[in-house]
Structure formats: C-alpha cells, structure tokens
C-alpha cells in the first residue's frame, strides 16, 4: 500500500519558467492538500482539493499559482513564471473521504524541493 | 483564526538527556485537533500523534510523551533519554473542526542530539 507519492523530488527551474509538481494520494484517499515550506519556516497551507473540485484555496497566492485534482491522475500544483521567492519545499498530503473534519491525520508525501535559479 | 507558537527554535541536548518541546495554540473553535510531526534530515514528514480537544489525557509512546493542558492552551512534547536518531525538526500543528482538515503549523523546533 504505497503512501503519498510526489514527483519530482527535486526540481530546478530558471526564473520565468513553469513548474509542475505532482501528487498521487494514498489509495482510497480523495482529499488532497498542498503545503509550502519556505526556508526556516513551518509549513503553510495552500489549497485543499477533492476530485475535480477546489474546496479551499485560501492559502494560494493570487497570481501564478494554480492547482487541480482531475478525475483521473494525480493532483498538479502549477507555478507559472517562477521567481526566486518560489524556492521552497512543497508538500502534498491526503486523507480519506467520510472522516470528521479535522479528525484525521493527513498523510504527507516526501515533498518536492523547488529551486529557482 | 488558528495559530500555533513554538517558541524555541533550536535545542541542543546531550544523548540520554530529556528534552521538552513547547507548543502553545490559539483557536476559537471548541472542537479542534492537535498534532505533532517529525521532519528528519531526509525531509519527509512523519506523523507522531493526534489529540482531540475533548481528550486531555496525557499519552506515552515509548520514549515519547505528550502533555495536553487546555487551561494553558499547550500541547507539549517530551523525548526521554534522547538518542542521536531523534535529531530532527519537530512541528506542532492544529486543525479546527470547521477548518476542512487544514493544518496550521508552528515554525518547528530543531532538536540536535549530541552523542
């Protein structure tokens, strides 16, 4: 039973390029969360998705960032026209459906470390 | 709004000493959940414990123990007889019942265990 899978583990992009981060939730999990960890900081919530729906994007920057979780395939966090300040570790977490909100631990992937040069 | 404060940034201990990590939280919800995660040097996040707001019982798991006190809004974590493998960053986090499972993390405690 594979855990949450994120790829790539490391991603280097030049300023202005696009970054695509992928997250495959645990089997049977239909809820996906993205978090960003800036250097020397804790994790900050970005977005919460269920299949084909964005439920809460209150933590997403207003521009250049988008997320999707299609019916088939992994969740994608897309960052357009990356800047140096986007360099961070991006973590994906998943949880199963039908649980009481807030009551379950989220299972985290190993993260994608994005470096913008 | 939910908020988690971990005041100590880096803590160094000699192997076999105990270390306690403080976590203070703020929330307006009466139902909420508290978590601790470990982030070793390899970078992944390892779940350690979840505690709901109605259960103030302290918990012990091996060398780890947690002290939850609603009166002071604290959820402290103690590692007894520390080992080098305990060297990691430890995050305290809070999730509100009305918060879509969204976790609010503290800034973390960097624990360095010196052999």
Q: How many helices (H) and strands (E) does chain A have?
A: 0, 11
Residue-level pLDDT, tens digit, chain B, 115 residues: 789 999 888 999 999 999 999 999 999 998 899 999 999 998 889 989 989 898 888 888 899 999 999 999 999 999 999 999 999 999 999 998 777 778 999 999 999 999 9
In a 10 Å sphere around its CB, with 0-12 CB exposed, 13-18 middle and 19+ buried, how is residue A67 labelled? Answer: buried
Closest approach of A43 to chain B, Cα-based (Å): 6
Distance CA B77, CA B49 (A): 10
Around Cβ B67, how many Cβ atoms within 10 Å? 16
CB contact under 8 A, B103 and A110: no
Q: Which residue, among B35, B101, B107, B109, would best test binding to A if mutated, counting the most A CBs under 10 Å from its CB?
A: B101
Structure-token pair, residue B32: 């909420």
Distance CA B13, CA A81 (A): 43
CB contact under 8 A, B98 and A101: yes
Structure-token pair, residue B85: 């493998």
pLDDT of A2 higher than 80: no
CB contact under 8 A, B47 and A104: no
Please answer whether residues A44 and A91 qualify as being in contact, where contact means their C-beta atoms are separated by less than 8 angstroms. no
Distance CA B14, CA A78 (A): 43
pLDDT digits (tens, 9 = 90+) for A55-84: 999 999 999 999 999 988 999 999 999 999
Fill in the DSSP letter of residue A26: P
CA-based nearest residue in chain B for residue A99:
B101
CA-based nearest residue in chain A for residue B51:
A103
Q: What is the 3-state secondary structure (H, E, C) of B19-72?
A: EEECCEEECCCCCEEEEEEEECCCCCCEEEEEEECCCCCCEEECCEEEEEEHHH
Distance CA A82, CA A18 (A): 6
State chain B's maximal CA–CA distance in angstroms.
44
Q: Which residue, among A102, A111, A114, A115, would best test binding to B if mutated, counting the most B CBs under 10 Å from its CB?
A: A102
Chain B residues near any Cβ of chain A (below 8 Å): 4, 6, 31-33, 35, 37, 42-45, 47, 50, 52, 91, 93, 95-108
In this prediction, residue A99 has a pLDDT band, given cuts at 50, 70 and 90, of low
B90 to A42, A105, B8, B82: CA distances (angstroms): 10, 16, 11, 14
Pairing of strands A75-79, B109-114: unpaired
Please give the pLDDT value at position A51.
Answer: 87
Judged by a CB distance cut-off of 8 A, whether residue A72 touches chain B is no
Q: Which residues of B touch A31 (CB under 8 A)?
A: 101
Average pLDDT, chain A: 90
CA-based nearest residue in chain A for residue B9:
A40
Closest approach of B71 to chain A, Cα-based (Å): 21
Q: What percent of chain A has pLDDT over 90?
A: 70
Distance CA A79, CA A90 (A): 11
Please give the pLDDT value at position B20.
Answer: 96
DSSP characters over A44-56? EEEEEEETTEEEE
């Amino acid at each position: 039973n594979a855990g949450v899978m994120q790829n790539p583990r490391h991603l280097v992009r030049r300023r202005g390029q696009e970054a695509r981060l992928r997250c495959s939730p645990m089997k049977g999990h239909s809820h996906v969360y993205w978090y960003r960890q800036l250097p020397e900081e804790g994790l900050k919530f970005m977005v919460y998705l269920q299949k084909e729906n964005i439920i809460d994007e209150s933590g997403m920057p207003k521009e250049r960032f988008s997320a999707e979780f299609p019916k088939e395939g992994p969740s994608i966090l897309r960052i357009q026209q990356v800047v140096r300040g986007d360099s961070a570790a991006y973590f994906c977490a998943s949880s199963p459906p039908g649980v009481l909100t807030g009551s379950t631990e989220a299972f985290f992937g190993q993260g994608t470390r994005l470096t913008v040069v | 709004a939910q908020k988690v404060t971990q005041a100590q940034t880096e803590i160094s201990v000699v192997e076999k000493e105990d270390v306690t990590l403080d976590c203070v939280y703020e929330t307006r919800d009466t139902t909420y959940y508290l978590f601790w995660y470990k982030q070793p040097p390899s970078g992944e996040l390892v779940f350690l414990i979840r505690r709901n707001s109605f259960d103030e019982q302290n918990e012990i798991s091996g060398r780890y123990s947690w002290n939850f006190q609603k009166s002071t809004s604290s959820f402290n974590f103690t590692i007894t007889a520390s080992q080098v493998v305990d060297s990691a960053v430890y995050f305290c986090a809070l999730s509100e019942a009305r918060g879509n499972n969204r976790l609010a993390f503290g800034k973390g405690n960097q624990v360095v265990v010196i052999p």
